[in-house]
């Protein structure tokens, strides 16, 4: 199956467990892989036969900039559900949400959650 990648989407959100996270906010990164049959779109040059990247980005942004949640797991689940709901051509999505500066003592480049969800 074919894939559409959206990499390094950057957002500033107020998600987290600790009060400082929800008050001050922090940067988050999201990567999306959409499994979509793309042969017809590629042969016909027809946007209706693929996923409009701008519209997909808007769905991700809506969640990342939206209602604060405690867990990046929740963000990933909401993004996956939204993309599968709004884009019937998507067969499966892989979502990675990264928190580059988690409130953890010790050097690290971040923590991330990656999930894969598909149609049942």
* Nearest one of 36, 33, 31, 32 to 51, comparing CA atoms: 36
3 is catalytic: no
Residue 27 to residue 22: CA distance in whole angstroms: 12
Alpha carbon of 49 to those of 19, 33, 58, 93, 94: distances in Å? 44, 17, 19, 17, 20
- DSSP class of 17: S
Among the options 3, 96, 99, 120, which is catalytic? 99
Measure the CA angle with vertex 58, ends 96 and 80; round to 5°. 35
User: Which are the catalytic amino acids?
Assistant: 99
């Amino acid at each position: 199956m074919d894939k559409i990648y959206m990499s390094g989407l950057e957002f500033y959100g107020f998600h987290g467990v600790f009060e400082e996270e929800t008050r001050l906010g922090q940067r988050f990164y999201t990567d999306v892989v959409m499994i979509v049959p793309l042969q017809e779109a590629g042969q016909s040059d027809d946007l209706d036969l693929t996923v409009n990247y701008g519209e997909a980005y808007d769905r991700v942004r809506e969640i990342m900039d939206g209602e604060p949640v405690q867990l990046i797991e929740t963000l990933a689940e909401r993004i996956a559900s939204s993309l599968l709901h709004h884009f019937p051509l998507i067969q499966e999505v892989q979502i990675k949400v990264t928190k580059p500066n988690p409130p953890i003592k010790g050097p690290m480049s971040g923590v991330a959650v990656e999930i894969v969800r598909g149609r049942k």
